[in-house]
Amino acid sequence: MSETTTDTIAQSQATAIPAREQVKFYQVGSYAVGNRLADLQWRSLQSDPNRKNSLTSGHRACQGCGEALGARYAVDTASAVTNNNIVAINATGCLEVFSTPYPETAWTIPWLHSLFGNTAAVASGAAAGLKAMGKDDIRVVAQGGDGGTVDIGFGCLSGMFERNDDVLYICYDNEAYMNTGVQRSGATPPAARTATTQPVGEHPGNVFTQGKNLPRIAMAHEIPYVATATVADLRDLEYKVQKAMSYHGARYIHVLVPCPLGWGSNSNLTVTLARLATQTGLFPVYEAEGGEITSVTKIRRPVPVEKYLKPQRRFAHVFKEPDSAEVIARLQAIADRNIKRYGLIEMESLDEDVQKRILSAPEDPTGRFASTLLAEPTESMQTA
Ligand SMILES: Cc1ncc(C[n+]2csc(CCOP(=O)(O)OP(=O)(O)O)c2C)c(N)n1
Ligand code: SF4
Ligand SMILES: [Mg+2]
């Protein structure tokens, strides 16, 4: 790693969050214009021509793959801040398949492929093994998709959190099982079409449930560091990886990574969609330390959810349904609940009607809790 890179990382490690938000980058690739024009301390690691690429060219991700973009920034940062002393453990999924069709690999770091569901356990084992060998300076990064993380790998991950194992786990959330043909996961949003939630029947697309909100579940384990991020703000992602690596113990970063193939979106809209996901309030971006939220990325004005849904074919049926307005209103209620819950907006800056709508957002926007309540207590309950 060049000295410039080390300085950049060291300086930005001390960066206060409000200051970080003053710089607007226009990410267009490795040598982004915004990076070059910014002061050294604000530049992305990717603007350093001497940086090391953890994930090199030649891999087989689709054009516009958010996961490839997010992984590159995240792992390059983890690698840089540890002087390239990392080992990565990768769950089965798109990231593993497109980067490592045996016997080839696009990774330039020590990298292990685990099973689909045991990434966290393999990473915990690697961290324990390194510790036993006295090699604590080698840090472990685990990575997986949303399916591998919130569904099949969840038990191992919860164990890793509970034991506070010295691992940074990064989940690249593209909201479905993309590698096997876009099946629903516990992170698929309500109404979305997938191969297993077809737009047919009374309630087309995915059911309205809360899904599994892994960042909140991770926070409940009170681990040292939890953060959410998106590929719309790659400098923020770098910052969070850097910060996570400054801690020991279990750490978790959940990155929203749009998938053109699974979402049915144009490949040039990956960053735009990630930005809209945050600006609508559907994907809140924040940090939590020891189980408490310590920073939230504010949004200036709430963007109506239609703007985010429209460019994605997985939501096309929503706009054709007779009760389209009702479905959109339910999705809007989820965004509004997030805005209220995470304090994403300065309320005073909003028009009165928008303010009112957000403040009256339901605590239970998917209606799942309400629908399970019994209308009347049964006789046996009354007598109990
Ligand atoms: C035990 C087991 N069940 C199913 C599979 C098949 N499988 C491989 S990857 C994958 C989906 C991955 O989805 P996700 O974790 O969200 O990653 P993505 O491909 O979306 O990045 C599935 C079902 C498997 N490898 N092992
Ligand atoms: S299917 Fe989606 S996640 Fe997989 S490589 Fe293509 S764009 Fe990336
Ligand atoms: Mg996925």
Per-residue pLDDT of 285-316, as tens digits, reads: 999 999 999 999 999 889 999 999 999 999 99
Does residue 6 belong to any structural domain of this protein?
A: no
Does residue 215 belong to any structural domain of this protein?
A: yes
CATH number for the domain including 202?
3.40.50.970
Does residue 13 belong to any structural domain of this protein?
A: no
pLDDT at 24 over 90: no
95 lines ligand 1 (CB under 6 A): yes
Question: Which numbered atom of ligand 1 lies nearest the CA of 92?
Answer: 9
215 lines ligand 1 (CB under 6 A): no
Question: Which numbered atom of ligand 1 lies nearest the CA of 185?
Answer: 16
Does residue 201 belong to any structural domain of this protein?
A: yes
User: What range defines the domain where residue 151 resides?
Assistant: 18-383
- Tokens representing 99? 């980067």
Give how many domains the chain has, as a whole number. Answer: 1
Residue nearest to atom 4 of ligand 1 (CA): 116
Does residue 10 belong to any structural domain of this protein?
A: no
pLDDT tens, position by position, 114-146: 999 999 999 999 999 999 999 989 999 999 999
pLDDT tens, position by position, 173-217: 999 999 999 999 999 999 999 999 999 988 899 999 888 999 999
Does residue 373 belong to any structural domain of this protein?
A: yes
Cα–Cα–Cα angle for 147, 152, 157, rounded to 5 degrees: 95
Q: What is the pLDDT of residue 3?
A: 41
Does residue 4 belong to any structural domain of this protein?
A: no
pLDDT tens, position by position, 337-383: 999 999 999 888 888 988 889 998 888 888 766 666 665 666 665 55
Residues 6+ apart with CB under 8 A from 322: none
pLDDT at 230 over 90: yes
User: In 76-220, where do the E strands start and end?
Assistant: 86-90, 111-113, 139-145, 167-173
Please give the model's pTM, rounded to 2 decimal places.
0.90
180 lines ligand 1 (CB under 6 A): yes
Does residue 117 belong to any structural domain of this protein?
A: yes
The predicted model gives 154-167 an average pLDDT of: 98
Taking the CA of 153 as reference, the closest ligand is 1
Residue nearest to atom 4 of ligand 2 (CA): 94
Distances (CA, A) of 45 to 30, 91, 120, 178, 276: 9, 26, 27, 29, 25
Residue nearest to atom 6 of ligand 2 (CA): 62
- Yes or no: say if 245 and 9 are a contact pair by the CB < 8 Å rule: no
